Amino acid sequence: MIRFPGNFWGKFGVCVAVLVIILSVNKSFIFAGTQRSSDSPGTTTAGVLNLRTAFSLALKHNPMIQAQLAQRDAATYGVQSARSLFFPRVDVRETYSRSDSPVQVFSSKLSQEEFKAEDFRIDRLNHPSARTNLKTEVIVTQPVFNRGREVYRYETSRLLKEMSKLKLEQVKQQVLLSVQRAYTNWLLARERYGVIEKAVETARKSLQLARSRYARGTALRSDVLRYEVHLASYRKELAAAKNRIDIALSALNVAMGLPNEKSWVPEKGDKLVDGSSGLSLSDWISLTNANRPELLYYRLNSKVAKWAVTRSKLNFLPSLNLRGIYEHNTESIGDVSGDAFTLMGTAEVNVFNGLGDSAEYKKASANFRSAEAYERRVRQEVRHQVQKAWLNMQTAKLQVKVTKKAVKQAEESLNIVRNRYKNGLTIVTELLDTETALLRAQLQHLQALYDYKLAFAEMKWSAGVLGKNNPERIKK
């Protein structure tokens, strides 16, 4: 039997107590740290968003913009490829041959600088032994003029690069417009929810008033029932308004190129307000002519077509190139070898190719006329868009004033009717209709603010300056 010292159990108990205290303290620290981590602002899933941030996120993450950025890079490399046509081309060619053909053997011996007097004997000339030749050539070709091929490639690739930049700007403007629409629609959905929520609260208070009057015997039971149905319909609209917020937020994430489930809250104080400008219609037209990507794009497209006409004319001229060749011939590595160089200039004149050059010129001329027609069409369409956006903006501005006045009138009318109903001077139907009229007036005012904000954004988009602050300061 094992015996412990008399003071063992006392010391053991003290040790156990200390261990329990240490574990308890560590556990409290662990859970406290966990709680702080979960409550920290950095772990929240909802980010704060304003329109400028939404624009920045869209420019960074939207797939359409990323695709167009790749196209712009491709056009840049196209310019580099076209520029290379002006530089000399250097090729290295290695040729291995083994033959007993009299001509081939004779040529190989001469190239290897190993031709001897006995090789002139008729029998050796007619029946030579098989011979190997390793020929290494370095060929340098300098293009001088190839019927304008180099100049045409370079100029058109340079114009296509500029067109790709304009196409990128066009896509950016379109993406920003979709973000503007989605963001404003999201704000509208949130503010609609707030308006309906207030309407629910107003209807709840009116229901309490109806119940109070019914309890005093100054109102009918039907008044209470009507208000209960009225309140239920408002709560139904409130649920639908909440659903519209989620849908609008998902659409906004799609427009920005972010995951649909990303959660956002608007920046504090960010509401539906009008975005006015002191520019006249002629000012907007001037901005459009200088900044609208489509106009500039089709102007360059006409230049590309015009260069094609020039290229087709140059097909009637000769081509000229310079070439230098250095060659090294040997039977095998380390054997006797021979070196030689050749300098040459080549000129080529196309005398007749079945009237193909003439057909190419007519084709290029027709394409140029087509490009000019498209440019005129785009110019007319853009001008129409500017005028339409201007008129829509003026109409929306007027609607904001009208609906704002209607809201004030509806609020005043509701106060009067509520006091009349409270004093038993009117029926419940009039109060219900007045509350409904106020809600509709408030929603119409929100819609008018949305229409005006969107109309102003479309005005900036039609001028090609969406996403740029202070259009008045933009160079025309």
Mean pLDDT for 460-467 is 92
- For residue 220, what are the contacts with CB-CB under 8 A and spacing of at least 6? 214
**What is d(CA 63, CA 67) in angstroms, rounded to the nearest whole number?**
6
Question: Average pLDDT, stretch 222-234?
Answer: 87
Burial of 207 (0-12, 13-18, 19+ CB in 10 A): middle
CB of 300 closer than 8 Å to CB of 163: yes
Q: Is the pLDDT confidence value at 350 over 90?
A: no
Q: Is 346 helix (H, G, I), strand (E, B) or coil?
A: strand
What is the distance between the alpha carbons of residues 293 and 287, in angstroms, rounded to a whole number? Answer: 11
DSSP secondary structure string for all residues of 228-282: HHHHHHHHHHHHHHHHHHHHHHHHHHHHHT--TT-EEEEPTT-----------HH
Q: Determine what percent of the chain is predicted with pLDDT higher than 90.
A: 58
pLDDT confidence band for 475 (50 / 70 / 90): very low
Domain definitions of the chain by residue range: 51-87+147-187+268-315+357-473, 89-145+320-349
Residues 311 and 157: beta-carbon distance below 8 Å: no
Cα 247 from Cα 264, distance rounded (Å)? 13
pLDDT for the residue 357: 86
Considering only CA atoms, which of 431, 438, 10 is closest in space to residue 227?
A: 431
Helix, strand, or coil (residue 90): strand
Q: Is pLDDT above 80 for 9?
A: no
pTM: 0.76
- Please choose, from the candidates 473, 461, 55, 465, the residue with its C-alpha nearest in 3D space to the C-alpha of residue 291: 465
- The Cα–Cα gap between 356 and 360 comes to 6
Closest CA to 262 of 275, 250, 244, 276: 250
Q: How confident is the model at residue 332 (pLDDT cuts 50, 70, 90)?
A: confident
User: What are residue 96's DSSP bridge partners?
Assistant: 134
Please write the tens of the pLDDT for every residue from 133-189. 999 999 999 999 888 889 999 999 999 999 999 999 999 999 999 999 999 999 999
Residue 43 or 455, more confident: 455
Six token digits for residue 78: 């196209």
Top pLDDT among 82 and 427 is at: 82
Which pLDDT does position 442 carry in this prediction? 92
* C-alpha to C-alpha distance for 293 and 169, rounded to whole angstroms: 6
> Among 195, 216, 213, which residue's Cα sits nearest to residue 205?
213
Question: Residue 39: pLDDT band by 50, 70, 90 thresholds?
Answer: very low
224 burial via Cβ count (<10 Å: 0-12, 13-18, 19+): buried
Confidence of residue 35 (pLDDT cuts 50, 70, 90): very low
Residue type, 28: S
Mean pLDDT of the chain: 85
Note every long-range contact of 301-305, with CB atoms under 8 Å and residues 24 or more positions apart, other chains counting.
301/163, 301/371, 301/374, 301/375, 302/368, 302/371, 302/372, 302/375, 303/159, 304/156, 304/159, 304/160, 304/163, 304/371, 305/364, 305/367, 305/368, 305/370, 305/371, 305/372
Q: Which two tokens stand for residue 102?
A: 């009299």
**The pLDDT value given to residue 26:** 44
Residue 13: predicted pLDDT: 53
Mean pLDDT of all residues in 282-299: 93
353: Cβ contacts below 8 Å, ≥ 6 apart:
none
Instruction: Compute how many other C-beta atoms are within 10 angstroms of the C-beta atom of residue 69.
Output: 15
Give the three-state DSSP class for 15. helix
- How far is it, in rounded angstroms, from Cα 357 to Cα 350? 9
Does the domain spanning 89-145+320-349 belong to CATH 1.10.760?
no
What does the block give as tokens for 385?
Answer: 């868009």
pLDDT level of residue 10 (50, 70, 90 thresholds): low
Tracing tokens 């993406």 back to the chain, one arrives at: 175
Assess whether pLDDT exceeds 50 at residue 33.
Answer: no
How many other CB atoms are there within 10 angstroms of residue 3's CB atom? 6
Instruction: Give residue 121's pLDDT.
Output: 84
User: What phi and psi values does residue 347 have, to the nearest 5 degrees?
Assistant: -125, 135
Closest among 267, 266, 187 to 451, alpha carbons compared = 187
| Domain 51-87+147-187+268-315+357-473: homologous superfamily in CATH | Outer membrane efflux proteins (OEP) (1.20.1600.10)
CA gap 465, 463 in Å, rounded:
6
Is the pLDDT at 438 greater than 60? The verdict is yes
**pLDDT, average across residues 31-38:** 35
235: tokens are 């709560």
How much is the average pLDDT of 252-262?
A: 93
Question: If you ran DSSP here, which 8-state letter would residue 40 be given?
Answer: S
